[in-house]
Amino acid sequence: QVQLVESRGGSVQAGGSLRLSCVASGYTASTTCMGWFRQAPGKERKGVAAIYFGSTYYADSVKGRFTISQDNAENAVYLQMNSLEPEDTANYYCAARRRSLAGCSLENTYHYWGQGTQVTVSS
């Protein structure tokens, strides 16, 4: 059974940093497309970042501020968030595509999802 377990988010002031983690089980993260998505209250879910065999992809809104990475030994994916802004406030979700599917981008369909974790950035 595939499970994606996310770390707890947190609350920071604008300009601060947070690091989210996502540990996968029943799934090999290093050989699959993994991504981070976020959803603000009343808004649609949007892709933030994705990674596949070391190649990374970012939404324009977070380029230069967020970094997605993998730790293959821990079967985990991380999202380092720097220079946080109030607009980054959202529930953040780790996600993965089915291993049999080719391609990795924020526009592809993701099939496995973490439980979500809240990130709040105050001004």
Answer yes or no: are the C-beta atoms of 93 and 77 closer than 8 Å: no
Chain center to CA of 65: 13
| Whether the predicted pLDDT of 106 surpasses 80 | yes
Give the other-Cβ count within 10 Å of 90's Cβ.
Answer: 22
| Cα distance between residue 39 and residue 116, in whole Å | 9
List the one residue out of 4, 14, 34 whose CA is nearest residue 117.
4
The reported pLDDT for the residue numbered 70 is: 94
- At residue 18 the predicted structure's pLDDT band, cuts being 50, 70 and 90, is very high
| Whether the predicted pLDDT of 94 surpasses 90 | yes
Beta bridge partners of 68: 79
Looking at residues 13-25, what average pLDDT do you find? 97
**Residue 30 backbone phi and psi in degrees, to 5:** -65, -20
Looking at residues 83-104, what average pLDDT do you find? 93
Answer yes or no: are the C-beta atoms of 116 and 62 closer than 8 Å: no
| Cα distance between residue 7 and residue 54, in whole Å | 22
The reported pLDDT for the residue numbered 12 is: 98
- At residue 40 the predicted structure's pLDDT band, cuts being 50, 70 and 90, is very high
Comparing 43-47, 102-106, 111-115, the range with the smallest average pLDDT is: 102-106
| Cα distance between residue 1 and residue 86, in whole Å | 36
| Cα distance between residue 34 and residue 29, in whole Å | 7
The reported pLDDT for the residue numbered 29 is: 82
The reported pLDDT for the residue numbered 116 is: 97
